[in-house]
A = this chain, B = another copy of it.
């Protein structure tokens, strides 16, 4: 049988479900390594938000009557590996925070792309409640990205230079 938008939606849902769980594991390490209290705080707040994002995805899986199951997402693994590399290479350096912010923004942008597509597909499939949940997470990812830009502009990059 030909695969359709519904299959694409479920595939992408599993991809981001896996990604969110990896992010949930990476954020405490990033918070620990961050030099500035503001950045630590941003990572900790975003960790709590990420728990909510995982729960929302579980709700979406329920709504479409599918088991909440992740699927290895090499993209997020690559992005998180690069964040770990920054931590290894810049540990103790003034530039570490600038690197951490940039890594976190790569994570956010991956999520913004995925949630944007998921929300549009949910609408197209008539899954209005799911679209609403996905949009709430999308808006939080966009806000986090903006917060990180502000932190970079006002602190991390200045300290690093």
Q: CB distance A82 to B74 under 8 Å?
A: yes
Copies of this chain, count: 2
For residue A125, which residues in chain B have a CB less than 8 angstroms away from its CB? 161
Question: Is A98's CB within 8 Å of the partner chain B?
Answer: yes
For residue A114, which residues in chain B have a CB less than 8 angstroms away from its CB? 102, 106
Docked CA distance A109–B75 (Å): 12
A residues adjacent to B (C-beta < 8 A) = 2-5, 7-8, 11-12, 15, 73-79, 81-82, 86, 89-90, 92-95, 98-99, 101-102, 105-106, 108-110, 112-114, 116-117, 120-121, 124-125, 149, 152-153, 157-158, 160-161
Not counting A7-B90, A8-B86, a sample of 10 additional A-B residue pairs whose C-beta atoms are within 8 angstroms of each other reads: A3-B90, A3-B95, A8-B102, A11-B86, A74-B82, A102-B114, A105-B113, A105-B116, A106-B113, A121-B160
